[in-house]
Structure 1
Amino acid sequence: MKLKKVACTLLILIGSGFAMESQNISPNKTVAYKEIEGDSLCLHIFEPAYINKPAAVIVFFFGGGWTVGDPKQFYQQSAYFASRGIVAISAEYRIKNIHGTTPFDCVEDGKSAIRWVREHAKELNIDPDKIVAAGGSAGGHIALCTALIEGLDNPNENASISSVPNAVLAYNPVLDTTNKGYGAKKVENRETEISPCHHVKKGLPPMLFFHGKEDTTVPFENAERFNSLMNAAGNDCNLVAINGVGHGFFNGSFFRKGSDDQYFNLTMYDSDVFLEKLGYIAGRPTIVKLVN
């Protein structure tokens, strides 16, 4: 498939702090991190108002079944974390409906994004040892795979620079790509190659993930099983199970119009606490947790 080259444009953040009108949320800038088959993939970067030392960074990957999606899904989360003093990024990656790609290509792009951020830590004013991979649904799967999956690296990149994040945050991620989970037909004959449940091992980065108990897209059983496997291997992993909600519950009002933000606030509050415990954020969350 011939690809149209996409130019990355500079965007200005309108407003100040996190208490901005949701329709005005936009990144400070976009930067190309990867050129592949005539296309440019960009990072949509949200910067804190002030950084007095290299900050932590969180890189979000949007959902959409590796087929559709938009970095705007995580603009609201990125704006919040930038308001908390860390650099926040919503990353583009190749998707089937535009690029004719597979989930394996998506994982490659996720690893490329983490590697590029670490390689450019100085110019981004970030700590290369405080990189968080994050995302929702298929994007949560990509975030997990940057920590779990060996191989699928782009051969044109500097392999001496690690693409493994220092922590992972995921929101109803795809956890099993066999017929017990989601996506088996999309990875036919390679069902376990990028299946997080099948690649758990000792020594993985700390992880926090959220899952609705009524999720019919990614079965809640997958979340319980992944969490058990992670803990059995001695890893720091915590599942936040949420009653009465299904897939995509975490989306904020910027991306999902009409949302009252209660689950956005819940996930951001707990994510904030997780990052504060790791030493990536200072102080208490500045967002109100509306539900338990």
Structure 2
Amino acid sequence: MQNPLKKIILAALLMCLAQFSIAQQDTIPAIRTYKKIDTLNLQLKIFKPVGFDASKKYPAIVFFFGGGWVGGNIGQFQKQAIYLASRGMVTILADYRVASRHHTTPFECAADGKSAIRYVRQHSAELGIDPNRIAAGGGSAGGHVAAATDLTKLDEPSEDLTVSSRPNALVLFNPVFNNGPGEYGYDRIKDRFPEISPFHNIAKGAAPTVVFLGTKDKLISVPTAEAYKAKMLEAGSRCELFLYPDQPHGFFNKGESFTQTLRQTDIFLESLGYIKGKPTI
């Protein structure tokens, strides 16, 4: 016979999962086009907090999906977005150009990321967003795009460059944020790595950052992540690194790792004043 306490715990977990699933089904994002390239419209999916008040200014986070700058799906971070919307943030999923669909390079990916942040800040009043509390997040190549929005200068020259394309904080899930020799992406970027590699552009004023990495990640080594943190600290910027034993690349997408990394994201954003109270996950 099963332990009664185990039954109660299992029932509670199933109830929580059911409520989370219902929240996903009932949440319909607003769609905005943030950039047009010929006939292509790059879009944002925007989730607003329950009880959204247009007269207020909410903190926001823009998520960029992973996929090696080649593929990926805008919906990758939808669960994280819905949860953080429940915590009082405007949360946004951003599409951007990738090689398989648009025949682009990592440079266009980074430029699109900066365009997305600029659009959100430029339209912050109508979106109900505080322009000084816009975070960027992403996983793998999407983590690179998020970091590149802060640390590189790959802006579209046709845009209003008086509006900053830099986020105020970064949430990075196994990001490929060092593209120098011997690191991920160098084979595609080569001698242009100083332009696009976040690690090589860390400087004073870099946004406070949290990084999640599995110790068995085959694309980003622990020493690479530790060097990134050390360089951030040397520049006078906050950088927290959370290592997850024996976890591979993409570990944060499911299971206990999903919960752990999202909870730690909540704690990080609360420490910055973006949300209030203890995590509800």
Q: Which TM-score applies when normalising by structure 2?
A: 0.89
Q: Are the counterparts in 2 of residues 56 and 86 from structure 1 also a CA contact under 8 Å?
A: yes
Q: Distance in 2 between matches of 1:23 and 1:56?
A: 21
Match of 2:78 among 67, 75, 78: 75
**Structure 2 residue identity aligned to 1:196:** P
Q: What fraction of aligned residue pairs are identical, expressed as a percent? A: 45
Q: Are the counterparts in 1 of residues 174 and 213 from structure 2 also a CA contact under 8 Å?
A: yes
Q: Distance in 1 between matches of 2:205 and 2:86?
A: 31
Q: Distance in 1 between matches of 2:26 and 2:160?
A: 34
SS at match of 1:271: helix
SS at match of 1:31: strand
Q: Which residue of 2 aligns with 1:230?
A: 232
Q: Are the counterparts in 2 of residues 138 and 173 from structure 1 also a CA contact under 8 Å?
A: yes
Q: Are the counterparts in 1 of residues 24 and 82 from structure 2 also a CA contact under 8 Å?
A: no
Q: Are the counterparts in 2 of residues 114 and 163 from structure 1 also a CA contact under 8 Å?
A: yes
Match of 2:257 among 253, 256, 263: 263
Q: Distance in 1 between matches of 2:206 and 2:227?
A: 16
The offset of 1:22, in angstroms, is: 8.0
Q: 1:27 to 1:154 in 2, by over 3 A?
A: farther
Q: Which has the higher helix share?
A: 2
Q: Distance in 2 between matches of 1:240 and 1:34?
A: 34
**Structure 2 residue identity aligned to 1:128:** P
Q: Which residue of 2 aligns with 1:247?
A: 249
SS at match of 1:285: coil
Structure 2 portions without partners, runs of 5+: 1-17
Structure 1 portions without partners, runs of 5+: 1-16, 253-260, 288-292
Q: Are the counterparts in 2 of residues 18 and 79 from structure 1 also a CA contact under 8 Å?
A: no
Match of 1:143 among 142, 146, 150: 146
Please list, as runs of the form range in 1=range in 2, the aligned pairs for 1:70-109 lying within 5 A after superposition: 70-109=73-112
Q: Does 1:176 align with 2:170?
A: no
Q: Distance in 2 between matches of 1:109 and 1:244?
A: 33
The offset of 1:185, in angstroms, is: 1.3
Q: Are the counterparts in 1 of residues 208 and 238 from structure 2 also a CA contact under 8 Å?
A: yes
Q: Which residue of 1 aligns with 2:48?
A: 47
Write the deviation string for residues 9-41 of structure 1: whole angstroms up to 9, x where unpaired: xxxxxxxx9623487376422111000132000
Match of 2:223 among 198, 221, 224: 221
Paired residues in the alignment total 262
The offset of 1:197, in angstroms, is: 1.5
Range with bigger deviation, 24-33 or 173-182: 24-33
Q: Which residue of 1 aligns with 2:4?
A: none
SS at match of 1:192: helix
The RMSD of aligned alpha carbons is 1.6
The offset of 1:195, in angstroms, is: 1.1
Q: Distance in 2 between matches of 1:179 and 1:21?
A: 46
Q: 1:95 to 1:123 in 2, by over 3 A?
A: same
**Structure 1 residue identity aligned to 2:181:** N
Q: Does 1:277 align with 2:271?
A: yes
Q: Which residue of 1 aligns with 2:214?
A: 212
The offset of 1:234, in angstroms, is: 1.2
Q: Are the counterparts in 2 of residues 62 and 70 from structure 1 also a CA contact under 8 Å?
A: yes
Q: 1:24 to 1:140 in 2, by over 3 A?
A: same
The offset of 1:233, in angstroms, is: 1.5
SS at match of 2:170: strand
Structure of higher CA gyration radius: 2
Q: Does 1:187 align with 2:189?
A: yes
Q: Distance in 1 between matches of 2:88 and 2:168?
A: 18
**Structure 1 residue identity aligned to 2:180:** T
SS at match of 1:210: strand
**Structure 2 residue identity aligned to 1:201:** A
Write the deviation string for residues 271-290 of structure 1: whole angstroms up to 9, x where unpaired: 10111111110111100xxx
Q: Which residue of 1 aligns with 2:162?
A: 160
**Structure 1 residue identity aligned to 2:236:** G
Write the deviation string for residues 105-137 of structure 1: whole angstroms up to 9, x where unpaired: 000000000000000001110100000010000
Q: 1:191 to 1:123 in 2, by over 3 A?
A: same
